[in-house]
Amino acid sequence: MEVEKPLSHKPRNWVFRLLRVVLKFIVAVVFIIYVYVGMAATITLYKKNEYRAQDISVLYGALDEVAQGNGDPKRVTAWIKARPLSETDKLIEIVSPKSAALGPEVFVEFSGRELQMQKPEEAFFWMQLGRFRLLFDLIRCGADPDRIKIYDPIFSHMHSNQTDDLLRAHPELLKKTAQRVLDFDTKYPAHDNPALVCKPISADFRLPTEELNWESYRQVLRKHTEDFLNQAEKPKSNSK
């Protein structure tokens, strides 16, 4: 009687070996990502602690470097974020006169700080100033100055319940804040490099327009804001 030979397990073993190799590869990749993320977090924490330990006078030099084109605006924002909340007023005092070369993110940071200190009116002002500066960047990235309102959804994330409640209770603050934004822009006109904004926003935007035209674009944006103020000042006609 012929005895049947057992089926060969070589194909199954080959599959198992392949699966083990794939599994080891996945584990290695996950481990590398874990180490990378951990190192990045450690470096970020180290820098934050370093920035916090430095004297606040270091900020003057960092701002001067950005103004001269040798510094990194993102580093300035990171430096400010690392500082204690109690230094907010001093940070604003130092940054405001030298804010021309900074992007809108620093004003958004100030807005968040003011919210944490329960100052919704100041938070709303800095938020609107950040919005104004971001619109200026978008125009220089090729956005149509006469259609800038279509970009308002970009700023929806800047709203907060505190500022919304404040505006419902005091709608006149919208006009007051718009005027403050214009006054700030008059005193410290923006001259930052919008290249940091152009690419991340949309692939449709090109690189910054010619610097020669930047001032005219700023005046267009100011006119939009002034038109809003003029419209707000018009008395409402009594309906019969």
CA–CA gap between residue 86 and residue 176 (Å, rounded): 26
What is residue 34's predicted lDDT score, i.e. its pLDDT?
Answer: 43
| CA neighbor of 219 nearest in space, from 132, 99, 95, 125 | 132
CA–CA gap between residue 145 and residue 147 (Å, rounded): 5
Q: Let me know: does 215 contact 207? Beta carbons within 8 Å.
A: no
Helix-, strand-, coil-residue percentages of the chain, each rounded to 5: 75, 0, 25
Taking 50 as the pLDDT cut, the residues of the chain under it are: 3, 31-32, 34-43, 45-46, 237, 239-240
CA–CA gap between residue 136 and residue 188 (Å, rounded): 14
- Cα–Cα–Cα angle for 87, 90, 96, rounded to 5 degrees: 130
What is residue 155's predicted lDDT score, i.e. its pLDDT?
Answer: 56
What is residue 204's predicted lDDT score, i.e. its pLDDT?
Answer: 53
CA–CA gap between residue 158 and residue 105 (Å, rounded): 11
CA–CA gap between residue 128 and residue 182 (Å, rounded): 10
What is residue 44's predicted lDDT score, i.e. its pLDDT?
Answer: 52
CA–CA gap between residue 111 and residue 113 (Å, rounded): 5
CA–CA gap between residue 104 and residue 166 (Å, rounded): 23
Q: Is the dihedral of CA 72, 75, 77, 83 positive or negative?
A: negative
- Cα–Cα–Cα angle for 180, 235, 130, rounded to 5 degrees: 20
CA–CA gap between residue 224 and residue 148 (Å, rounded): 9
What is residue 168's predicted lDDT score, i.e. its pLDDT?
Answer: 85
Q: 222 in helix, strand or coil?
A: helix
Question: What CA–CA distances, in Å, run from 79 to 46, 64, 91, 112, 135?
Answer: 12, 14, 10, 15, 24
